[in-house]
Structure 1
Amino acid sequence: MTVVSRHYVLAAGGTGGHLIPAFALATELVKRGHHVALVTDSRGAAIPGKPDFLPAHVIPAGRLGGKNPLNWLRGLRAIMEGRRMALRLFESFQPSAVIGFGGYPAFPAVIAAHKAGLPTIIHEQNAVLGRVNRFLADKVDAIATAYREIARLDPKHEGKVHLVGNPVREDVLALREQPYPPFTEDGLLRVLVTGGSQGARVLSEVVPDGLAMLQPALRTRLQVTQQCRAEDIDAVRQRYASHGIPAELATYFEDMAERLADAHLFIGRSGASTIAELTAVGRPAILIPLPIATDDHQAANTREMVEAGGARAIRQPMATVPNPANYDGDRRNQMLRQQAGLFHDMAKDICRQIQAIAQDPHSLGNAAHAAWNCGYPNATSDLADLVESFGAAPLMDVIRMGGAAPAAAGREATA
C-alpha cells in the first residue's frame, strides 16, 4: 500500500486538556507519513510535552463576551488578525484539512479554513460542547466527540457526529492491557490524589481528613501519593503526619503514568484528560468536579463513569470556592467558619464513598473493570481515520488504498 503524504493543521487552546489530544493525533498522523502544524497561543507553544517534530504557530486569540463593548471590539480585532495569520499559513502549508480542539486560538484558525474552503473537523473532549466549538459547529464538516451524550449540541448537527473518544498519551495507553494491581484483604490500599491548579487546594484540605476517618482496618493499610500546590505542601504533610498516614507529596510527578499503574484508587478532579486516562487504564475513582468549570462540564464528564459503576462523584459546594484571605474582619471569620464546616462534610463524604468502593477486594476490582469498560483505547487511530477521510482527492485515495476510489471520499458523516 502506497501512503500519500498530506498536510494537516491542528488548532488548540493553550491548556493540557486541549493540547494532549492534539499532540496524540499529531503523533499518529506523522506515523502515517503526513506533515502536521500546530496553531495555538503562547502558552501552547511553550507547554511541556509538545512533540519536537510539531511546529507551533502562535496567533492572536480574542474572546467575545462580557458587557463592556470595548472588550468585544478588542476580541473581534484579535480574531480577525488571527484569521488573517491563519490564512497566510494555509497559503504556504496547503493543508488538506484543519482540525480544531477547542480553546480560543482554535476559533480564528477554523473560521479561516472555512473561508478558504478547506475541510474542517472539531474535537470535543468534554461531555458538554465547549463555547468555541458551539460557535463552530454550524460551519465544520464533522464533530468528533469523547462521550455518547454531549450537552449543548444542537440536534441539527447530530448527523456530523463521530464518537471516537479522547486520545491519551501513549505511555498511559500502554498500561491498558496490564492487570489491575492485586488488592487483598490485608494488603496496602494505594491511593493517588491529584488536582489542577484551581483544584488542588480543596483536595489538600479535605482528602487527608477524609482518609483519617476511615475505619482502622482500612486506614492502617493506606499508602497515599498526592500532588499538591507548592504553597500547600507543608501543611498537607503535617496533616498526614498528624493522622499517622504515610504519604508521598510533590508539586509534580514526572512518572505519573507509573503512579497511575500502581494505584488502586484515584481521587481528584474530572477534567476530560483525567477521565480519559482513568478509563484507558481502568482505575476506580472518587471524582470531585471543579464547581466553577464552564457549563459545569466536569460534573457532566463524571456521568458515564459513575453510571457504569467505575466511579463515585462528590460535589464541592460553591461556597468553598472564594478565598477568605481576600476579605477582612468579621466577613473573613464568617467565611472561614463556613468553609471549615463544608470541608468537614466533604471529608466525611469522601470517607463514606471510599468505605463503599473499597469494602472488599471484589468491589474495588469490579469498579476498576467498570472504569476500563468505559475507555476508548482506539481514540487516536479512530480520530486519525476520520481526519484522513476528509480533504482527499479521489485519485489520492486510489493510490493510498491501492484500489478503486471510494464514493464521495469521506464526505458523509455518520452518527
Structure 2
Amino acid sequence: MTAVSRHYVLAAGGTGGHLIPAFALAAELEQRGHHVALITDERGAAIPGKPASLTAHVLPAGRMQGRNPVNWVKGVRGIMEGRRMALRLFESFEPTAVVGFGGYPALPTLLAARSAKIPSVIHEQNAVLGRVNRFFAGRVDAIATSYAEVNRLKAKHLSRVTLVGNPVRSEVLTLRDQPFPPFTEEGLLRILVTGGSQGARVLSEIVPDGLAMLPPALRARLQVTQQCRPEDIEAVRNRYASHDIPAELGTYFENMAERLADAHLFIGRAGASTIAELTAVGRPAILVPLPIATDDHQAANVREVVAAGGARSIRQHKFTASELAKQIQAMAQHPETLANAAHAAWNCGYPDAASDLADLVEGFGGEPLMDVIRMSGQPAATSSEALALERAE
C-alpha cells in the first residue's frame, strides 16, 4: 500500500501572528505524510515553538519604507535577491504549492512561485487584508481567510476566497472540548492579562487600578496572572500589593495554554492569534485593540466575537480604570453572564482551520508528485535530505 507525499513551501514573517498558523499548517501537512520547508526572516527562524522537524530558510526580504529613494533601491535589491534564493530552493525542493502567510519574507517567495509557475495560496490572519496579501490577491490561486468579513479585499477577488479560520497551536486546540471552569458567586475569579510578546504598558498602568475599583465582594475573589514588560514588572507588583490583590506576574509564561484553560476572563490586545485562541477555547474577553496596528486591523479583528457576545472591546483612548471596572462588573456580576459569553466566544471558533487550510492547499498542483511513502515501513527521504539552499555569492 502506498500514499503520495508532496512538498510544500510556507513563507511567513517573523512574528507569532504570521508563524503560529504556518506552524499549525506545517504540522497538519507533515501528519498527512508531506514534506514542508519554511521561508522566514531571522526572527522567525529563532522564534520559540517552531517544530523541530520544520527546516527554516532565512531569505532577505527587502523593505520599501520611507520616502528616501536610496531605501527603495535597497528594498528592491533585497526583494530580488530573496526571489533568486527562493527559486534555487524550488529547484531542489520542487514544491507542489507555495503558501504565504504575510510579512516581508512572503513577498520574494510568492514572486518566485509566480515566476516558476508554481500554484500559490495566501492566508490572511486578520480582518483586514495585509499589504503583501493585498499585492498578491489577484495573482494567487486561492485566498484563505480567517473572518467572513475582510476589509480591503476587492470584490473581484472574492471568487478565490475560502473561509478556513486561523489555525492555532495544538495544545490550545485540545482545550476546546473541556468545559468552562466553574465560576460561582463565592468562587475565585481568575483573570489572565497579556499584551503580546512584549507585553503592553497600558495594561500594566490600567488593569491593577481597574481591578481595585471593583466592588469589595468581587475584588476579594480575584486571582490575577499578568504578563508585563521587564522594566514595568516591579511597579506593577507594588501596585497590586498596595491594592491587596493577589497577582502572579511574569515577562513570559511558557505554559500559556494551561493558564488560558484556568482563566474565567481574558484582558489583552486583539491580535489575530489571540482571538483565534480565545474562540477556539471559548474564553470571554475584554480586548483593547492596538491603536497603531496597520490599517487598524485589531479593531476589525474584534467585530465578530463582540457582535456574538463573546467579548467586549475598549478603544485605548477610552481604556481607563473606571471603564475597565465597569465592563468587568457587567460581565462577572453573575456567573451565568461569564458562562454565556464563553459559549458565544466558543461558537466563533474555527477548530478545523488547520485541516481545512491543508485541504485547500492539497487541492492545488496536479503535477506528478514528488515522493512515495511506503506504508510497509520503509521511510521516505526526509526534508533535510531534500533541501539544498545556498546563498548567492
Return the TM-score normalized by structure 2.
Answer: 0.92
The answer for the alignment partner of 2:86 in structure 1 is 86
The answer for the alignment partner of 2:365 in structure 1 is 391
Identity percentage over the alignment?
76
2:189 is matched by which residue type in structure 1? L
Deviation at 1:68, TM superposition (A): 1.1
Change (3 A) 1:160 1:112: same
- Structure 1: 5+ residue runs without aligned partners? 318-341, 401-415
The answer for the alignment partner of 2:185 in structure 1 is 185
| 1:259-298 map, 5 Å | 259-298=259-298
Contact 1:3 1:32 in 2 (8 A): no
RCO comparison, higher one (Cα < 8 Å, 6+): 2
Contact 1:128 1:300 in 2 (8 A): yes
| 1:360 has 2:334 as partner | yes
Question: Aligned equivalents of 2:20 and 2:329: distance in 1?
Answer: 33
The size of the alignment, in residue pairs, is 372
Note the alpha carbon deviations across 1:25-52, whole angstroms, 9 max, x for none. Answer: 0011011000000001111111111111
| 1:381 has 2:359 as partner | no
Deviation at 1:23, TM superposition (A): 0.5
1:390 is matched by which residue type in structure 2? F
Deviation at 1:199, TM superposition (A): 5.0
Deviation at 1:197, TM superposition (A): 4.8
Contact 2:199 2:229 in 1 (8 A): no
The answer for the alignment partner of 2:162 in structure 1 is 162
1:378 is matched by which residue type in structure 2? D
Contact 2:199 2:227 in 1 (8 A): no
Per the alignment, in what secondary structure is the counterpart of residue 13 of structure 2?
A: coil
RMSD, aligned CA? 1.5
| 1:316 has 2:316 as partner | yes
Deviation at 1:64, TM superposition (A): 1.7
Question: Aligned equivalents of 1:239 and 1:8: distance in 2?
Answer: 50
The answer for the alignment partner of 1:100 in structure 2 is 100
| 1:40 has 2:40 as partner | yes
Contact 1:192 1:224 in 2 (8 A): yes
The answer for the alignment partner of 2:123 in structure 1 is 123
1:15 is matched by which residue type in structure 2? T
Per the alignment, in what secondary structure is the counterpart of residue 144 of structure 2?
A: strand
The answer for the alignment partner of 2:325 in structure 1 is 351
Contact 2:61 2:79 in 1 (8 A): yes
Question: Aligned equivalents of 1:312 and 1:298: distance in 2?
Answer: 13
Per the alignment, in what secondary structure is the counterpart of residue 4 of structure 1?
A: strand
Question: Aligned equivalents of 1:81 and 1:175: distance in 2?
Answer: 43
The answer for the alignment partner of 1:332 in structure 2 is none
Return the TM-score normalized by structure 1.
Answer: 0.88
1:3 is matched by which residue type in structure 2? A
Per the alignment, in what secondary structure is the counterpart of residue 167 of structure 2?
A: coil
Contact 1:146 1:163 in 2 (8 A): yes
The answer for the alignment partner of 1:146 in structure 2 is 146
Per the alignment, in what secondary structure is the counterpart of residue 3 of structure 2?
A: coil
Note the alpha carbon deviations across 1:2-61, whole angstroms, 9 max, x for none. Answer: 421000000000111100100110011011000000001111111111111111111101
Deviation at 1:347, TM superposition (A): 1.1
Per the alignment, in what secondary structure is the counterpart of residue 26 of structure 2?
A: helix
Question: Aligned equivalents of 2:217 and 2:113: distance in 1?
Answer: 60
Contact 1:165 1:379 in 2 (8 A): yes
Contact 2:127 2:300 in 1 (8 A): yes
Question: Aligned equivalents of 2:15 and 2:31: distance in 1?
Answer: 24
Deviation at 1:387, TM superposition (A): 0.6
- Structure 2: 5+ residue runs without aligned partners? 374-393
Per the alignment, in what secondary structure is the counterpart of residue 266 of structure 1?
A: strand
Question: Aligned equivalents of 1:134 and 1:11: distance in 2?
Answer: 15
Question: Aligned equivalents of 2:197 and 2:34: distance in 1?
Answer: 35
Question: Aligned equivalents of 1:63 and 1:147: distance in 2?
Answer: 27
Per the alignment, in what secondary structure is the counterpart of residue 245 of structure 1?
A: coil
Note the alpha carbon deviations across 1:267-297, whole angstroms, 9 max, x for none. Answer: 0001000000000000000000110000000
Note the alpha carbon deviations across 1:322-356, whole angstroms, 9 max, x for none. Answer: xxxxxxxxxxxxxxxxxxxx7xx611111111011
